[in-house]
Amino acid sequence: MATDLKFMMRVHNLIQDIHLDDDLDANAKLFCLLVLADIARRRTLSPSARLAETVGWINRIDERAGQPYFSRMVIRRDVPRYEREQDTGVCVGEMIRRDGPCGKKVYKTIVDVDPATGREVLIGYCTRHWSLDHEQRAREQRRQWYENGRPRPPVNAGGVLRRHLSTDWDYLYDWADPHRDHAEDGKEPIPPRPTLSLIQGGV
């Protein structure tokens, strides 16, 4: 009884953490809650039945979500990755008579890449501030980036599910997105230790 009460309290705290995590969208939160429910249900089974149901939990989550590939979709969206920084949607050209960027509607954009880190930023210019020099600079940056061995910036998106659920996430990420970029040169941020080790076994 004490063990069950302790488990219930841990699950209760985890549910609160999931609810308050703004980095989880609605589908990711539903996925986490369905996994918790599945684990809680399995705890009521006999040891042999519990072991038998360890495999196939993905299918049970999809069925309860009412979507055939729900789990794969959620996990694929959570794959750790580097996402290019977007521009503000307005021209960033410098003004002569006042401080700050131009701010007019963007005519053309370039990808500004840091040759040393691989960090990318999408930058836009209006018709007044656009110049072929910007394209030339972008090509030169890209050339230097290649010569530097194509360094990769640290991962800055995904990996949120790992905050709450402990499992072999590398396996699940590869399963959900077989062509994913492992970002071998970019260091992934270390998520907080999950409250519970909830998922075990294959998909």
- Global pTM? 0.73
Angle formed by the axes of helices 70-77 and 26-42, nearest 10°: 120
Q: Identify the band that residue 185 occupies on the pLDDT scale cut at 50, 70 and 90.
A: very low
Give the pLDDT score at 51: 61
Give the pLDDT score at 54: 62
**Structure token pair of residue 22:** 């703004």
Single-letter code of the amino acid located at 22: D
Task: Based on the fold, state whether residues 26 and 65 are members of the same structural domain.
Answer: yes
Give the pLDDT score at 174: 94
Task: Based on the fold, state whether residues 145 and 103 are members of the same structural domain.
Answer: yes
Percent of the chain with pLDDT over 70: 83
Q: In this structure, is residue 198 part of a structural domain?
A: no
Residues 167 and 175 sit within 8 Å (Cβ to Cβ): no
Residue 142: CA count within 13 A, CB half-sphere: 10
Task: Based on the fold, state whether residues 44 and 140 are members of the same structural domain.
Answer: no
Domain span at 40: 2-81+156-176
Residues 109 and 125 sit within 8 Å (Cβ to Cβ): yes
Q: Identify the band that residue 191 occupies on the pLDDT scale cut at 50, 70 and 90.
A: low
* CA gap 21, 81 in Å, rounded: 19
Instruction: Provide mean pLDDT across the span 103-114.
Output: 91
Instruction: Provide mean pLDDT across the span 79-102.
Output: 84
